[in-house]
Amino acid sequence: MASVASVLLLSEAEFGCEHLATQPADFLSKQNVGFRISNVLKPKYACLSCSESFLHRDRKAHTDKTGHNFFMESRSRLLFCQGCEDFVYDHSLERLRSSTSENALNVAKKRRFSESSTDDIYIKSNANRRICAKQGVRGLFNLGQTCYLNVILQTLLHDPILNTYFLGNGHQQHDCTAQDCIGCAVAEAFADFNSTDKVEGFAALSLLLASWRSSSALAGYQQQDAHEYYQFLVDKLHASTDEHEENHDKGCPCFFHKTFYGKLRSSVTCDKCGNVTRTEDPMVDLSLDVQVQAKKRAMGGGGTSFTPTLGGCLESFTSPEKLMAGVYNCSGCGGTPQKATKQLRIKKLPAILCMQLKTDNAIQRYEHTFSVSEKLEGRIDFPMSINMLPYTTNPHSRVDKSRYIYDLSSAVVHKGKLDAGHYYVYCRQGDQWVLFNDDQVTAVTEADVLNADAYLLFYNLRSLAGAPR
């Protein structure tokens, strides 16, 4: 798998995980001598620090209470790391695992594993980090005008929240009976992307076919809008869960609704009587009009060097807007047309926040005149982190502002004309940034990302534990 970081040291590959690597060299030999397998129907996990045994459901509570990370499974004597939540391999344990406790030391004497032994060298040279800790990345092959799908899928594949869900068997493919299930197709893509025995790019063929069968508008090899595909994908993932609610007003408890969906409040205030009408609607993204910022630049508001900003777009989005008479009928004034003021505010923020930088055109940012459509030149300034509290329904509330901090996770770019073009995406991989141009993968700097002419921006809530309700 192509690596964007330095090659791992051979000494790191000696251990099953980073948690095991921090233990003393004689940790396993001290704890495992004398351990016997219990003949029980359900496997037990013996703590290697205090020798207590636990069932699967009780293991985490013991670790939380004592800090003991390592257990031996009773049936196979495999080492389980609770910090990784997975079985891990260690060559020192292997020599004990296949023998009884009475003759384990005798076996060790007959066959020593020295630093120069063939077995030890082979393990060090071929062992890899766990899948969830991998440093590699993979591109996606373009199957014919499918760059719109590739950029959205890469965004999902590099999201830590979604990795936890799909790599943790959040969607059970084998139990799913839905026809052309998008959830199954995305789960397959996560499994394929994280396959350690493949280093080349891969094709998300199952997801493409499932998308075509689910939407006639997507079928075929014509160019599609990445933003519209994101909305389609989120909707289908939401529908793929058994516990989902079609009516968003009921408060759907499913994972995808909590992850992708927020709530937007619209308030209309009558200028005559002051009557306020409020409506709330679910949102999966914010479509921000950059023309307002561009017009300020054109009129000299801030000089010719003025660059539209994401903060400016959010301020414009949540600023009061005057409505002329005839647009709004006030119930407080007997249902008569009245001038009014409308304002949008975010009632609830999602864990993954998508923002589209748009004008009248859904594909790209263009300035429309009577005679020609011209693309707006220049990028829009956006930050690596943003505080979303000022754009909510309680912008001045005395709350922990860290609960509203979002960090940039990916930026989708569209290059080309109105009816054609190409998408590519910058994604955060650990502490680094990577440019995905279909199957071409390139390491880039943070400055490269910030200089991109972004069309879609994806931000992740920094602290899920303190997420606003």
Identify whether residues 191 and 127 lie together within a single domain. no
117 and 160 inside one domain = no
Q: Is residue 25 part of a domain?
A: yes
123/15 same-domain check = yes
Q: Which of 209, 239, 269 is the C-terminal boundary of a domain?
A: 239
* Alpha helices for 48-130 (secondary structure H): 59-66, 91-97, 104-110, 118-126
Task: Report the distance separating Cα 107 and Cα 273, nearest Å.
Answer: 91
* Residue (of 428, 407, 458, 425) closest to 150 by Cα position: 425
Residues 119, 145, single domain; the answer is no
Contact partners, residue 395, CB within 8 Å, separation at least 6: 345, 389
Return the number of other C-beta atoms located less than 10 Å from residue 178's C-beta. 12
Q: 163 and 82 in one domain?
A: no
Domain presence at residue 298: no
**Assigned domain for 336 exists:** no
- Predicted model pTM: 0.67
Judgement on whether residues 29 and 111 belong to the same structural domain of the protein: yes
Residue 123, domain member (yes or no): yes
- How many CA atoms are closer than 13 Å to the CA of 90, on its beta-carbon side? 29
Q: What residue type is assigned to position 459 of the chain? A: Y
Whether residues 143 and 193 fall in one domain: yes
Residue 378 falls in which region: left (phi positive, over 0), alpha (psi -120 to 50) or beta: left
Asked whether residue 358 is assigned to any structural domain, the reply reads: no
Q: What pLDDT was estimated at residue 241? A: 82
Where a domain ends, among 175, 204, 239? 239
- Domain of 37 in residue numbering reads as 2-133
Q: Tell me what pLDDT residue 242 has.
A: 77
CA distance readout (Å), 102 to 34, 78, 107, 137, 155:
7, 18, 10, 46, 53
Please report, in tens digits, the pLDDT of each residue of the chain (469 residues total).
Answer: 444 333 333 333 344 565 655 665 555 555 444 444 334 456 788 998 888 888 888 899 999 999 898 888 876 677 888 888 877 776 566 655 554 444 444 444 444 444 445 555 555 555 544 443 345 688 999 998 899 999 999 999 999 889 888 888 677 777 777 888 898 999 989 888 887 666 678 899 999 999 999 998 998 888 899 999 999 999 999 888 877 677 666 678 788 988 999 999 999 999 989 999 999 999 999 999 877 655 545 544 444 446 789 999 999 899 998 888 788 888 888 888 889 999 999 999 999 999 999 754 433 444 443 333 344 445 789 999 999 999 999 888 777 788 899 999 999 999 986 567 899 999 998 889 999 999 999 999 999 999 999 999 999 998 875 554 4
In 3D space, the residue among 140, 172, 179 whose CA is nearest the CA of residue 156 turns out to be: 140
Would 179 be classed as within a structural domain?
Answer: yes
Q: 92 and 19 in one domain?
A: yes
Burial of 106 (0-12, 13-18, 19+ CB in 10 A): exposed
Flag whether 86 is in a domain.
yes
Q: Are residues 103 and 186 in the same domain?
A: no
Write down the pLDDT at residue 244: 66
Let me know if residue 307 belongs to a domain. Answer: no
Instruction: Tell me how many domains the chain contains.
Output: 2
SS3 content of the chain, % helix, strand, coil (to 5): 30, 25, 45
Give Cα separations from 233 to 208, 284, 298, 337 (angstroms): 11, 11, 37, 40
Q: Are residues 89 and 157 in the same domain?
A: no
Do 46 and 106 lie in a common domain? yes
**Residue 12 to residues 8, 41, 123, 126, 312, Cα–Cα distance (Å):** 7, 36, 11, 11, 47
DSSP of 145-163 = S-HHHHHHHHHHHT-HHHH
Domain closes at, from 75, 98, 133 = 133
pLDDT of residue 334: 87
32 and 6 assigned to the same domain: yes
